[in-house]
Amino acid sequence: MKTTAPQFAEYVSPGHPDRLADAVAERLVEFAQSQTPTASRNLVGVEVAIHDSTVFIDGRIALESESTVHENIPLPRVPFDTIVREVFAEAGYNPHWGPDPGSLEILTRVCVEELTSQEADIRPFSDDQNIVIGYACDCAATNYLPPAHYLALTLGRRLNAVLREDRELAETFGPDFKILCTCRTSQLGGNVRFEWDRLTLSAQHCRGSGLEEHHRLLTPIIGKLLKTLEGEGLENVARGFEPRRHLVLNGAGDFVIGGPRGDNGLSGKKLVVDHYGPSVPIGGGALCGKDPYKVDRCGALRARQLARNLVRDTNAEEAKVTLSWSPGEDVPGMRLAELVENGNSRILAASSLPGPGWFSIRSIVDDLNLVRQNWAAVMRAGYFAERSHPWEA
């Protein structure tokens, strides 16, 4: 049983400014994909910036219009204001925790136009060059993800649910918090054993509450959440955790001014969190704010699916899949899979990989049902952390 070097991974709550921006972008993708019978080809490429009570959205949304069949039918109106206010409210912002969703200033510079038939026909071809990387390790207990990364995502998601659902906690702690897990791990059978170095939690809180109260409220919750994870195959993650020794809570002091009032936010900044944590390289682009035909999204999901399958179907300890598209390609021109077995790396022959058609943009979108996903929820859960997602099944 080999113990790893220290691993690092973080989680960022839905109330963090970057995550608010990501959620708005993903909700716009969802909206575009819900329009018209042929909505699967609708194009979305948007960015969102947030500061204080101002939200700025730019980019392009191109929708297939039914006017080609029925004349004089206008394009659907994109409900920018409604989407933004709902995202802030769902994250926990209200008159108590500002900015109040009702007082937001929402600015848009988005080109909303009809998707021409010529452009619709070429959607299954890459409109840019791109590299994506898929990764999996042989740890079923962490859904084949690096253990520290899985721990940070799962602990953070469950802590957010507790903080937002309990009235007292929701009044004491704001929507904005971050977690940083630092640990060593070792595997035994199907379980993974943890050895803690540090758990850092920076949690926004109300004015007048002190660090002693924060420890009194949060330490038992963290302990309970770690126990649930221990029951799911993460050994020693609770029994080995000593709050006095391992927990760093609001190490910089008071964290009263948080969220968009304490920091600016921008969509697509949390690429490492969205992929596999800092121990695994990523390709190029962000996942969020792009329709399913963009290879930043569909390619990354297919690469993860293949890496996961390879680990499950072989004796590999790790699998890394690299796909690369050039502009105009429907199938990635480069398809590379690397396995680590008994500490040694080897490249799989092309004949050992699925056929080219399996990698085509159209087949990925159809096979993984990418048009009908709740992308904001996928992002908040972790793109690769939820076992029910089609590319994880």
| Choice among 62-76, 163-177, 202-216, 223-237 with the minimum mean pLDDT | 62-76
> Which residues on neighbouring strands pair with residue 200, listed in sequence order?
180, 248
Does residue 324 carry a pLDDT above 80? yes
pLDDT confidence tier of residue 315, bands split at 50, 70 and 90: confident
Task: Give the pLDDT confidence of 107-123 residue by residue, as tens digits.
Answer: 999 999 999 999 999 99
**Contact call for residues 295 and 132 (beta carbons, < 8 A):** yes
Contact 273, 12 (CB under 8 A): yes
Dihedral over alpha carbons 217, 23, 385, 162 (to 10 degrees): 20
Provide the token pair at 362. Answer: 């159209």
Q: What is the overall mean pLDDT for the chain?
A: 94
Question: According to the model, what pLDDT value does residue 40 have?
Answer: 80
3-state secondary structure of 108: strand
What local confidence, expressed as pLDDT, does residue 2 receive? 59
| 65 residue type, one letter | S
pLDDT over 70, % of the chain: 96
The angle formed by the CA atoms of residues 126, 132 and 137, to the nearest 5 degrees, is 150
Q: Find the distance separating the first CA and the last CA of the chain, reported in whole Å.
A: 29
CB atoms within 10 A of CB 388: 7
99 cis-preceded (ω within 30 degrees of 0): yes
- N residues, the chain: 393
Q: Kindly list the structural domains of the chain, giving each domain's residue range(s) and its CATH number in brackets, ordered by start.
A: 18-121 (3.30.300.10), 130-137+281-381 (3.30.300.10), 147-258 (3.30.300.10)
Contacts of 246 (CB under 8 A, 6+ apart): 196, 197, 198, 199
Q: What angle do helix axes 147-165 and 211-230 make, rounded to 10 degrees?
A: 120
Cβ 235 vs Cβ 192: under 8 Å: yes
pLDDT tier, 69 (very low <50, low <70, confident <90, very high otherwise): very low
Q: What digits encode the pLDDT tens for the residues 266-313?
A: 999 999 999 999 999 998 789 999 999 999 999 999 999 999 999 999
Distance CA 318, CA 44 (A): 34
pLDDT at residue number 68? 46
Task: Read off the pLDDT of residues 342-386 as tens digits, 9 standing for 90 and up.
Answer: 999 999 998 899 999 999 999 999 999 999 899 999 999 999 999
**197, pLDDT greater than 90:** yes
Residue 250: pLDDT above 50?
A: yes
389: Cβ contacts below 8 Å, ≥ 6 apart? 373, 378, 383
Confidence of residue 66 (pLDDT cuts 50, 70, 90): low
State mean pLDDT over 232-246.
96
Mean pLDDT value of segment 207-212: 96
The tokens of 13 are what? 């709550």
